[in-house]
Amino acid sequence: MTHSALSGEAEGARDRVRDLLAAHDPRTTDRLEFLRARFDAGLAWVHYPVGLGGLAAPRELQRVVDAELEEAGAPDNDPRRIGIGLGMAAPTVLTYGTDEQKNRFLRPLWTGEEVWCQLFSEPGAGSDLAALGTRAVRDGDDWIVTGQKVWTSSAHAARWAILLARTDPELPKHQGITYFVCDMTAPGVEVRPLRQITGEAEFNEVFLTDVRIPDAHRLGEVGEGWKVARTTLMNERVAIGGAAIPREGGMIGIVASTWRQRPELRTPELHARLVELWARAEALRLTGMRLGQQLAAGGPGPEGSGMKLAFAKLAQDISGFEVELMAEEGLRYDDWTLRRPDIVDFTGRGPGYRYLRAKGNSIEGGTSEILRNIIAERVLGLPTEPRSDSGPWKDLPR
Amino acid sequence: MTHSALSGEAEGARDRVRDLLAAHDPRTTDRLEFLRARFDAGLAWVHYPVGLGGLAAPRELQRVVDAELEEAGAPDNDPRRIGIGLGMAAPTVLTYGTDEQKNRFLRPLWTGEEVWCQLFSEPGAGSDLAALGTRAVRDGDDWIVTGQKVWTSSAHAARWAILLARTDPELPKHQGITYFVCDMTAPGVEVRPLRQITGEAEFNEVFLTDVRIPDAHRLGEVGEGWKVARTTLMNERVAIGGAAIPREGGMIGIVASTWRQRPELRTPELHARLVELWARAEALRLTGMRLGQQLAAGGPGPEGSGMKLAFAKLAQDISGFEVELMAEEGLRYDDWTLRRPDIVDFTGRGPGYRYLRAKGNSIEGGTSEILRNIIAERVLGLPTEPRSDSGPWKDLPR
Amino acid sequence: MNLLYTEIEEDLRSSVRAVLTDHCPPSAVIASLESAAPYDASLWELLASLGALGLHVPEEHGGQGASLRETAVVLEELGRSTAPVPFLGSAVLATTALLACESDLVASLASGTTVGALAVPLTTAPGSPFPATVSEEDGLLTGRVTSVVDAGAASLLVVPVSGPALYAVRADSPGVTVTEVVSLDMTRRIADVSLASTPGVVIASGDRAVAAVESALLVGAGLLASEQVGIAEACLEQTVRYVKERHQFGRAIGSFQAIKHRLADLWLELVCARATARHAAETLATGSDNPDIAVALAQSECAELAVRAAEEAVQLHGGIGMTWEHPAHLSLKRAKVGQLALGTPGEHRRTLGRLVHLPMDIPSMGQT
Amino acid sequence: MNLLYTEIEEDLRSSVRAVLTDHCPPSAVIASLESAAPYDASLWELLASLGALGLHVPEEHGGQGASLRETAVVLEELGRSTAPVPFLGSAVLATTALLACESDLVASLASGTTVGALAVPLTTAPGSPFPATVSEEDGLLTGRVTSVVDAGAASLLVVPVSGPALYAVRADSPGVTVTEVVSLDMTRRIADVSLASTPGVVIASGDRAVAAVESALLVGAGLLASEQVGIAEACLEQTVRYVKERHQFGRAIGSFQAIKHRLADLWLELVCARATARHAAETLATGSDNPDIAVALAQSECAELAVRAAEEAVQLHGGIGMTWEHPAHLSLKRAKVGQLALGTPGEHRRTLGRLVHLPMDIPSMGQT
């Protein structure tokens, strides 16, 4: 992709934006109507195919389009609310879906009319996701699905779910899995809030009892669910720290402010620990910046695998320190009420909340133990453990 | 063993000590002559059989005998110099030796006329001792032994060695090992000093090239060497910390003195670290005291497995701290000359020596990694790793 | 110096554990977290009936005539179960203060008919200046004390008053306001106490009042170490059990060496911490060593250990350990608050440095 | 701000590494440990012929006109190989001091014909008071400086003198005594320097002399971080290679999860430390950020990392890592001495706290 090629494409996209804005004045057009028109104009995700919200254009062009539309005061599709749909379901539907599936699902997904969630993890299959046991049994043109899923964000708001289920327990664990789209309004789907140690319920448990899924809602071939899921999961890993954050951005800034404003809390031991944490936070910030430069330079950036691991440890150490620093205030909590937050907000609440919530950082989205395995094997090239799980799924100890 | 029974035995032993002293006045008798007479009187190790230096009496009685003899100014057998013989070779010879072997070896072993060493570890068999590859091949009434041993204390002073060699490579590793007594003066035995990172050579490498060992010097049956070695190794583990040591005994005392005498070295960070180390040292001292009380009360004392692990880490942390504390003096070393010390002396030399020598604490006599495995499996009951070494020894990857 | 558990102590432990196992399962504790009642009254009565509330109170004062060693064993068990009972506030802090004053009021605490609380912030460390935020005028007390442990359950408040003096105040006296705080550890709640022209009874004054408060704080900190050993022990046991049962990748996760080594290290730290906690209890009970050193040491080691053990428990339980229904968070919150209670480990280490003559005065201090 | 390595830097690294691989294998370094010659003169000439000794010296002063970024890359490689050359003393400390004074003497250091040393104790941290243990009278210098790095190899001494001033002194001048010390790191030796009525040449005085010494210390500390990254990188690589090859219990020991996790953690620390070392080099070279902060940060992180990496290397090599013949101890000794050199991590963190406005003044200081 040369610079001049992108310039030509950019001109074309700007024309389309102008046309869209001319036909649908954001100030007077209904939000949803505008978003639908934007999708139909191919300006939703420009790298998607024409007819599916895109222009088959280079991905970088999206920034140009977004900037133009933002400047014109156009509404966006609230991407934080529909992150699982945008980040995980859409690329999978695009890669593995039939034409019918793509036409049915992508437009309301992008506009946010239909929220998506992800039914992958199970109580018995966390780090070892491929060991999942939710069963799907063929019944005519349908599949009948029974099982329990867990750690599901947005399940209570979702219309659709991407779902992994086991269609053949006789095969080794990676081979007997099939990938489905599950209607969250179907009979037999029950969503229960899953309360965490913070008192909140960010996530849900989802119980599936004889849920009928038409075979037309299968994504990819029967038994190829693990391959399909890899597309989904590759899109999950967010480049934490890729963006440049300012010095003292994040939790360390909160603690540093407290330190500066509250001399009565200071002791030499706490000072030594605070400066050490400050140094680690700043080192991690620079590491993120360096990683960003590596990625921009087209480098392999294996450092990315470590950022989440380091971030989790740092967040836990800083928040643990903060509770100690606060002394008497550290004995208190802001609110134990069962809430259902849409997003995680580390800065808006008290030290006790930060301390407890940060414990999840080393578990959700890949435990620190799994990340260390990945670094050891994929980055350092150390040998794998002897395998104990290559036989048929049904015979695995659990 | 009731108290009154021991009292009766003690009276008898005191009589024997009196007889020994009467016949061999320590002030006028040659040291070796006295030690031989003491052995022959059954006062060497009273729990050994009559005729082999003992009285078949309870082990506790030894304390009474030793005290009486020490009071009379009798010479001892310098147990630190012949520790391997006393602690490892003797119990093994006693348990597995023929009458001829017991009569031949035990007396000069105990008197120190013949020093013993141990030929167990090999460059390729450290933590995994049972993987050893030194070969012993039968040749008439002899065995011909070839291989390399390492980490051998006292090899340069030793007359005899306890030796593990592989007599059948076709069997799984624990089954093809045989236990021998090796004459260190035999042709084909070459001892080379093994220099360490401290500059000293405490240990040796021993090269065995077609060394002839008569079958009469085999201990235990052919192929039962591992079982015999377990007797040896069970006697190796010294109850570190079992004895009551005073507060600030050991390395922490050296650092604490420096701190008190050298205010110019102090910083708040170093202070926090020093007090933390002091607390850990004191906690470990109390743990050793508690362990001693448990053992005295006949308790199982699994805490013993952890003492060496904790001691190694503490010694390394204190000595690393000490070098930092010493600042400019920490840049210097006392002496890089190749020396051959008889014993390890942590307190007699400088901080640099302590720092380097302490690195060995977590390796020698069972690495900290192996000790953690032992604690995890034997104390906590966690499952073992899947085994990769159950096939014939000759097929093991190495 | 006996650092082991005696047979009598082991018997006591069995009795207390049996009661807690039956009447204080994790599900009950979790259900209690959001209840308005700050503690479990029926469990308190059961503990009283075992004599567990007055173990170190002499028989002539209505107690069992045992020692702080036995009380420490009860705290280990309460730590294991994170039982929501006002033991620390009543049976340790208030009882020790009253004992030091030789007050008759101690008998009703020892029998469990009265719950007491010592009106100091829970973060107060031994060796702190006498905490006198309450003043007296014409025999009436006025002032405010924040973050008083177990005050919400107490009918008797033992109140340090400037002077110095120590007063006994009935919680239902005129002018008393006890405001429950939303506590990080809801199994051990704190409350803010206000007195406005409240009548009280002097139980000690002058040096004796100061010594009584110091004694309570020192004993409290020293015995809290035993509770922390109990928390850590329970976390380790639960985690070991879980990693033996939980299979991933076709193996019990407890067969993975990284997990084994972490748990081995944790076990070793527990072994060492237990020795310091026993040493503190023994020393407080018998005076066989310097109790100030013993308590500072035990708190340095045990407070950190409990937090580490609880954090490892949450992590090694994976997702399930992050849920409200699983008891791991009870230990985590109890341990984290314990780190702040009666002096942080950092404060105790600073005290320790002073007591063992490792001074901190630094010539170059001025330049930083 | 560029935190990556440029292509030119990678080319430079390759050239330097090729020379070191050929001329400075571990066996040669170990053989040199007990030799009287404190450094490898032929290796020094090879480095000079690559232009590696005057990279950040402007061309008009006889250097390469590159920057401290490139010099940092050379230090990474020297750290990897623990090469016994007086690079830190001559090409970093003395060169930087002479450059700051715009002294012509820098040209002979840049070309390698002269080896220089800055006469300050190696433990001197940036920000320290001007180190003036030498005084001047009638143009002659007298005094003693201990623990001067690379002084035994130097023919030119750059000497801070009370006044303040900075003098150039030929090592063969009358009254100069350089006494080699038995160093913990025999690949980077120190010596005590005595001057007795020794003639010298003033190269700076007053604020300029102070600034020159401070500049040398700051650059030295900042670039030492790159050497420490090199040490850690080599230790990690060697250890990874060893645990892949070494079999025990029928498996490569690198397949055991506890070892894998420790090495993964070490790798991650190396990744983070490298970012701080690059940041320090970039900042010193371009002034794109506060260099005092950047250096204090890099030293806080990299000095500890190198020690940890070397200690892990010794441990995970087992017995063989404890032997004189194995190079692990070269890294261990270089790393441990590096922790003391130009400020300990603790001193750098204290500086960092001051620079980023995290003050340490404590109200309750008096009571401890």
| Model confidence at A238: pLDDT above 50 | no
Closest Cβ opposite residue A290 in set D4, D254, D363: D4
Compute the distance between CA of residue B152 and CA of residue B121 in angstroms, rounded to an integer: 8
pLDDT digits (tens, 9 = 90+) for A61-91: 998 999 999 999 999 999 888 989 999 999 9
| B9 pLDDT tier (thresholds 50, 70, 90) | confident
| B301 pLDDT tier (thresholds 50, 70, 90) | low
- Cβ proximity of C293 and C258 under 8 Å: no
pLDDT at D366: 44
| Model confidence at C363: pLDDT above 70 | no
Compute the distance between CA of residue C222 and CA of residue C51 in angstroms, rounded to an integer: 21
Q: Which of the residues B127, B152, B197 would you substitute to probe the D interface, choosing the one with the greatest number of D C-beta atoms within 10 Å?
A: B197
Cβ pairs bridging B and C (under 8 Å): 134
Q: How many CA atoms lie within 13 A of C191 on its CB side?
A: 24
pLDDT at C354: 96
Chain D nearest-CA distance from A261, in A, is 10
Hey, what are A121's tokens? 């993890």
What percentage of chain D reaches a pLDDT higher than 90? 94
| Model confidence at B2: pLDDT above 50 | no
How would DSSP label each residue in A121-145? -BTTBSSSGGG---EEEEETTEEEE
| Model confidence at B365: pLDDT above 90 | no
Q: Let me know if A236 is a catalytic residue.
A: yes
Q: Does B28 touch chain A (CB under 8 A)?
A: no
pLDDT at B80: 85
**H helical segments located in chain D:** 7-23, 26-32, 41-49, 68-81, 95-100, 106-111, 207-245, 257-286, 291-316, 328-340, 345-355
Question: CA gyration radius for chain B?
Answer: 24
Mean pLDDT in residue range A2-13: 72
C-beta atoms of C244 and B373 within 8 A: no
Sheet holding D190-199, edge to edge: D134-137, D140-149, D190-199, D176-180
Partner chains of C (3+ C-beta pairs under 8 Å): A, B, D
**SS (HEC) of chain B:** CCHHHHHHHHHHHHHHHHHHHHHCCCCCCCHHHHHHHHHHCCCCCCCCCECCCECCCCCCHHHHHHHHHHHCCCCCCCCCCCHHHHHHHHHHHHHHCCHHHHHHHHHHHHHCCCCEEEECCECCECCCHHHCCCEEEEECCEEEEEEEEEEEECHHHCCEEEEEEECCCCCECCCCEEEEEEECCCCCEEEEEECECCCCCCEEEEEEEEEEEEHHHEECCCCCHHHHHHHHHHCCCCCCCCCCCCCCCCHHHHHHHHHHHCHHHCCHHHHHHHHHHHHHHHHHHHHHHHHHHHHHCCCCCCHHHHHHHHHHHHHHHHHHHHHHHHHHHHHECCCCCCCCCCCCCCCCCCHHHHHHHHHHHHCCCCCHHHHHHHHHHHHCCCCCCCCCCCCEHHHCCC
Q: Minimal CA–CA distance to C164: which of C126, C204, C196, C125?
A: C204
Mean pLDDT in residue range B211-236: 91
Q: Which helix (H) or strand (E) holds A200?
A: none
Calculated CA dihedral for residues C275, C280, C282, C287, nearest 10 degrees: 140
Compute the distance between CA of residue C84 and CA of residue C24 in angstroms, rounded to an integer: 9
pLDDT at D368: 39
What percentage of chain C reaches a pLDDT higher than 90? 94
| Model confidence at D360: pLDDT above 90 | no
The reply to whether omega before C363 is within 30° of 0 (cis) is no
Q: Which of the residues A282, A307, A379 would you substitute to probe the D interface, choosing the one with the greatest number of D C-beta atoms within 10 Å?
A: A282
pLDDT at B167: 97
Hey, what are D242's tokens? 């060893």
Chain B: residue nearest C366 by CA?
B267
pLDDT at A236: 56
Task: Note which residues in 146-165 of chain D have CB less than 8 A from chain B.
Answer: 146-147
Question: What DSSP character marks residue A198?
Answer: T
Residue bearing the bigger pLDDT, C360 or C327: C327
pLDDT at D363: 55
pLDDT at C362: 60
C-beta atoms of B266 and C301 within 8 A: no
When the pLDDT of each residue in chain A is averaged and rounded to a whole number, the result is 92
pLDDT at A240: 39
Residue bearing the bigger pLDDT, C14 or A295: C14
Sheet holding C190-199, edge to edge: C134-137, C140-149, C190-199, C176-180
| Model confidence at B3: pLDDT above 90 | no
Q: How many CA atoms lie within 13 A of B75 on its CB side?
A: 20
pLDDT at C66: 96
Chain D nearest-CA distance from A136, in A, is 35
Question: What DSSP character marks residue C255?
Answer: G
Task: Note which residues in 199-218 of chain C have CB less than 8 A from chain B.
Answer: none
Task: Note which residues in 217-246 of chain C have CB less than 8 A from chain B.
Answer: 240, 243-244
Q: Are strands A116-119 and A160-166 parallel, antiparallel or unpaired?
A: parallel
What percentage of chain A reaches a pLDDT higher than 90? 80
pLDDT digits (tens, 9 = 90+) for D150-195: 999 999 999 999 999 999 999 999 999 999 999 999 999 999 999 9
Residue B342: CB atoms within 10 Å: 12
Chain C CB contacts of A316 under 8 Å are: 311
pLDDT digits (tens, 9 = 90+) for A22-71: 999 999 999 999 999 999 999 999 999 999 999 999 988 998 999 999 99
Compute the distance between CA of residue D169 and CA of residue A139 in angstroms, rounded to an integer: 95
pLDDT at B243: 54
What percentage of chain B reaches a pLDDT higher than 90? 80
| A303 pLDDT tier (thresholds 50, 70, 90) | low
pLDDT at A242: 44
pLDDT at A245: 83
End-to-end distance of chain C based on CA atoms, in angstroms?
45
pLDDT digits (tens, 9 = 90+) for A204-226: 999 999 999 999 999 999 999 99
B234 CB contacts (<8 Å, ≥6 apart)?
A: none
pLDDT digits (tens, 9 = 90+) for C34-72: 888 878 899 999 999 999 999 999 999 999 999 999 999
- Cβ proximity of C49 and C111 under 8 Å: no
Q: How many CA atoms lie within 13 A of D255 on its CB side?
A: 17
pLDDT at C366: 44
pLDDT at B226: 96
Catalytic entry in B236, B324, B329, B364: B236
Mean pLDDT is lowest, of A81-85, A146-150, C121-125, for A81-85
DSSP strands (E only) in C99-172 = 116-118, 134-137, 140-149, 156-161, 165-170
Closest Cβ opposite residue C257 in set D257, D360, D368: D257
Chain A nearest-CA distance from C59, in A, is 36
pLDDT at B235: 64
B7 CB contacts (<8 Å, ≥6 apart)?
A: none
Mean pLDDT in residue range B274-289: 96
Closest Cβ opposite residue C257 in set D256, D353, D368: D256
CA angle, residues A363, A366, A368, in degrees to nearest 5: 65
Closest Cβ opposite residue C182 in set A323, A336, A372: A336
Cβ pairs bridging B and D (under 8 Å): 136
Chain C CB contacts of D255 under 8 Å are: none
| Model confidence at B81: pLDDT above 50 | yes
| Model confidence at A341: pLDDT above 90 | no
When the pLDDT of each residue in chain D is averaged and rounded to a whole number, the result is 96
pLDDT at A239: 40
Alpha-carbon distances, residue C218 vs C30, C145, C210, C232 (angstroms)? 31, 19, 12, 21
**SS (HEC) of B33-47:** HHHHHHHHCCCCCCC
DSSP, collapsed to helix, strand or coil, labels residue D335 as helix
pLDDT at C61: 94
Place of tokens 């999206």: A62
Compute the distance between CA of residue D213 and CA of residue D209 in angstroms, rounded to an integer: 6
DSSP, collapsed to helix, strand or coil, labels residue D138 as coil
Alpha-carbon distances, residue D364 vs C129, C299, C347, D361 (angstroms)? 12, 21, 11, 9
